[in-house]
Amino acid sequence: MQTGEPSRTALGAAVYRAHHQVSDAGRIFHDPLAVPIIGGMPALTDSFFDRDTDGRIRLLVAARSRFAEDALAEAVAAGTEQAVILGAGLDTFAYRNPHPRLRVFEIDHPDTQAWKRKRLHEADIPVPPSITYVPIDFEHQTLDEVVAATDFDPARPAFVTWLGVTVYLTRPAITSTLRYLGSMTAGSQLVLDYAEPVIPATPEEHAAAEFRKQRLSQINERWRSFFTPPEMAAELQHDGFDVVEDLGLAAATIRYTGAPAKTPERPGPHVLRAVVRG
């Protein structure tokens, strides 16, 4: 991220969600605040860091939010009353929260968080009293020290999402966060996404990867950390989690569109759900 500036990729992800509402009628992930929070639909090329010619990235961004909110609803039904949204960006769950007893802790970089709160104000989106904002820089602070200053209760189960963030962090920042999360009360859950290392197979894939790399480098939000599924599973296992489910893009496409994936499963983005072992 640029010093003193909010995350530009947070705007990019929010534009994909808004685009999904407009172009796909929100059929995977219905979010009535997705367009208002970005202040209306911008020209689509303005905020994108990928050439999403086949709509795969839009599908992924919609699917990971749906996956997370479905899992959260199940956790709430089972009694969870604390949700933690790490690297929240312009995620709107907390402002649509349908669960009356659920507290929501939005934890993000202070520059992104300040910008989001301004965006909410400008869009006239009310901030319910169930939300607590917690600033963090994952590279320089630990999650336990920042949540210690809040009324988050580590003795009670929590549901944590960490979407669109791990790829931008260093491995030590990721592992220290996962270690804290794995120490939460048994039965607490985590939904996160991560990127598998990819070697472009065709000239088109190579050009697309170079395009993204250049755009991300211009805004100082480079992709820094990659995991294979076995590496991520081993890291989570080591930190105290059991992985319940790990979906690649093809599996997510089938689940949420009912259509066969355009390409077979291959290295790429993943979203997973894990639970803290008893």
3-state SS, residue 194? strand
Tell me the residue nearest to ligand SAM as measured from the CB: 89
CA distances from 221 to 3, 67, 212, 275 (A): 11, 25, 11, 29
CA distances from 216 to 49, 108, 157, 168, 222 (A): 7, 19, 36, 10, 5
**Closer residue to ligand SAM, CB minimum distance, 115 or 241:** 115
**Closer residue to ligand SAM, CB minimum distance, 9 or 189:** 9
Residue with tokens 């500036």: 5
| Distance in Å, CB of 8 to ligand SAM, minimum | 9
**Closer residue to ligand SAM, CB minimum distance, 89 or 240:** 89
**Token reading at 209:** 């990867």
**Closer residue to ligand SAM, CB minimum distance, 59 or 165:** 165
| Distance in Å, CB of 165 to ligand SAM, minimum | 4
| Distance in Å, CB of 80 to ligand SAM, minimum | 19
| Distance in Å, CB of 202 to ligand SAM, minimum | 26
Sheet holding 159-162, edge to edge: 131-135, 103-108, 82-86, 159-162, 189-195, 269-276, 241-248
| Residues in contact with ligand SAM by the rule CB under 6 A | 1, 7, 9-10, 13-14, 87-91, 108-109, 112, 136-139, 163-165, 168-169
Angle at the Cα of 71 from the Cα atoms of 68 and 74, rounded to 5 degrees:
150
| Distance in Å, CB of 201 to ligand SAM, minimum | 25
